[in-house]
Amino acid sequence: MATQLVYTPVKEIPGIVASLRKTFNTGLTKDVEFRKQQLRQLLLFMDEKKEALTEALYADLHKHKMESNVGEISSIVDECQYMIKNLNRLTKAVATTKRFKMNALDKTIIRKEAKGVVLVIGAWNYPVNLLLMPVVGAIAAGNCVALKPSEVSANTAAVITQYLPNYLDKRAFAFVNGGVEETTVTLEQRFDHIFYTGNGVVGKIVMKAAANHLTPVTLELGGKSPAIVAPDADFDVTANRLVWGKFFNNGQTCVAPDYVLVTKDQQEKLIVAIRKTLLKYYTSNPQKCESYGRIVSTRQFDRLKGLLDHYDDSQIAVGGNVDRDDLYIEPTVLKSISYKDEHVMQQEIFGPILPIVPVDNMEQAIQIINVRDQPLAMYIFAKSPAIYNNILDKTNSGGVVVNDTLMHLQELSLPFGGVGASGMGSYHGEKSFDTFVHERSTMIKSTDFESVLAARYPPYNDDKDTMLSFLVYGLPSSASAKFKTLMTVWSATWNILFKKSSKL
C-alpha cells in the first residue's frame, strides 16, 4: 500500500481532545440536520473509498473482497441508512406516564441528549467495522468523536485516517494514531464515554483509566465462544456453517466458534463432515485459495504456532501445516481435546484452529460451559426445540445463534454485546444510539395551583399528611374504605385551602 500510517505526536493529543470539547460546547453536533449530513458523508466515504478499503484489508489480513464487503463495509452502510431514516424519531423527547398525582398537570419528558466528547478505540481484526460502526451511533447521538484505529492493521488505519477527514467535519471528528504510548496518553484525557473493542487484558486497562474521570465505558471483548452439536443435528449443514463461521477472516473473529462440544460417539462423524466441507470451501491446498485469509502479524502467528506445537498427529484431525513467511496456518481441527486442556482451552484461540471436545451428553456440555466465564457468543446445533431451549435456559452468553454461526452479528436489529468477562454494554441499531446518549429526565412544573401544592410545605400537620398520603398511595380497594378515605381527604383539603389546619 502506498499510504503509510503516521503516528500522532504524543504532545498533540491533549490539544486534539480539547479542540473537540470546544466544538461540542458550541452546540454544532447537536443539530439533527448536521448529524444527518455527517452520516451522509460517511456513506459517501464508504462508497467512494470502497476499493481503497478493500485493498487495505487484503494487505492487512488477506481478506477476499467478499469477506470485506460482508464483514466490514455493508453493515456500516446499512447502519448509516438506518440512522438517517430514523433520527427524527430517535432524538424526539419521550413523555412519561406520571405516577405521583401531585404532578398530574405537569410535563414530564425524557430528553435524548449527546454525552459530549467520546472516544472510539477500534480493533485490528475488523479494522473498518469495529471502528466505524460505533462512530455511526456516536454521530447519530450528537457527539464529537475521537477515533483511535488499531495500529496493527496499519494499512486500513492509514486509508481511513487519510481519507475520512475529507468527508467529516474536522471540527467535530479527529484521529489519534499510534501504539501503547499514544493510547495511554489518549486514555489520560477526559472523555464522556469510551467505546473499546478488543481483549479483556486491555479492557481492564481502559476501564481503570476511565475510572479516573468516572467515564462510562462500553467494552466489546471476547472469550471462548462454544459450539454445541446435539445428537439430532444435521451434520452436513452443521459442518458447512461451523466451518464458515470458524474460518471466516482466518478465525480472527471475536465471535468465531472457539471450540466444539459433541458427544463422544459422534465426534468422528462430525470430523468427516468438516473435512468434506473444508475441501469444498478451500480446496486441497488452502494456501493457494484466494478465499482463505492470513494471520495479521508474525506475533499472532507465533502465538498460534506455539499452541499447535503441543499436539501431535494423533490429535490433529485436519490440517496443521504452517508457513511463517506467508503468515499462513492451514485450517486445523484438533480432536479428543479435554475441556481442561492446558493450551487451546485456556485462552481465546483467535485463529484457524478448532478443538473438538467430546462429552458424554448435553448436560455435561452445559456444565463445561458454565464453569467458564460467560462467552461473547454461543452456537447450538440441534433440531429439537426441547434440546436447544434446555441449553439456552441453563447457560448464559452475550448472544446466541441456533443452527448457524456469526449471523447475529450481521443482524443489526439485534443488540450486540457481551456479559461478564466478555464485555459490558451493547450496540447496533437503536442500541448504538442509546449507548451514546444521556437520557435526561426533565420535569416542567406549572406555577398554578400553589395553594394545593402547599400541602408539601412545612409546618407539617395531620391534614397535610392525609392529603399527601392520598396522592402517594391512592384509594383502598374496598368500596366502604374508599368512601371513608374520600371524605377524610375532602375534609383535609378544605382545611388546607380555607381553614387553619390543626397542628401535629
CB 194 within 8 A of CB 206: yes
Map residue 450 onto helix, strand or coil.
helix
Cα distances from 364 to residues 224, 361, 479, in angstroms, run 17, 6, 58
- Distance, in Å, from the CA atom of 215 to the CA atom of 348, rounded to the nearest integer, reads 28
Q: Name the β-bridge partners of 80.
A: none
Evaluate whether 318 touches 275 at the Cβ level (below 8 Å): yes
Q: Beta-carbon neighbour count of residue 430 at 10 Å?
A: 18
- State whether residue 381 is helix, strand or coil: strand
Helix (H, G, I), strand (E, B) or coil at 171: coil
Cross-strand pairs, 322: 329
Cα–chain-centroid distance for residue 9? 30
Instruction: Using the Cα atoms of residue 234, residue 239, residue 245 and residue 251 in order, give the sign of their dihedral.
Output: positive
> What's the angle, vertex CA 457, arms to CA 453 and CA 463, rounded to 5?
80
**Is 97 in a helix, a strand, or coil?**
coil
Q: How far apart are CA 261 and CA 244, in angstroms?
A: 17
Residue reference for cell 442500541: 431
Cell 447457560, residue located: 395
Residue with cell 452445559: 366
Q: What whole-number distance in Å separates Cα of residue 414 and Cα of residue 427?
A: 9
Residue of 72, 79, 254, 330 marked catalytic = 254
Q: Measuring CA to CA, which residue among 209, 223, 145 is closest to residue 435?
A: 145
Catalytic (active site) residue 254 = yes
Residue closest to 121 by CA, chosen among 132, 131, 136 = 131
3-state SS string over 397-431?
CCEEEECCCCHHHHCCCCCEECCHHHEECEECCHH
Considering 72, 151, 220, 430, which one is annotated as catalytic?
A: 220
* β partners of residue 423: 220
Catalytic site includes residue 289: no
* Angle, helix 200-211 to helix 180-187, in steps of 10 degrees: 30
User: Which residue numbers are catalytic?
Assistant: 220, 254
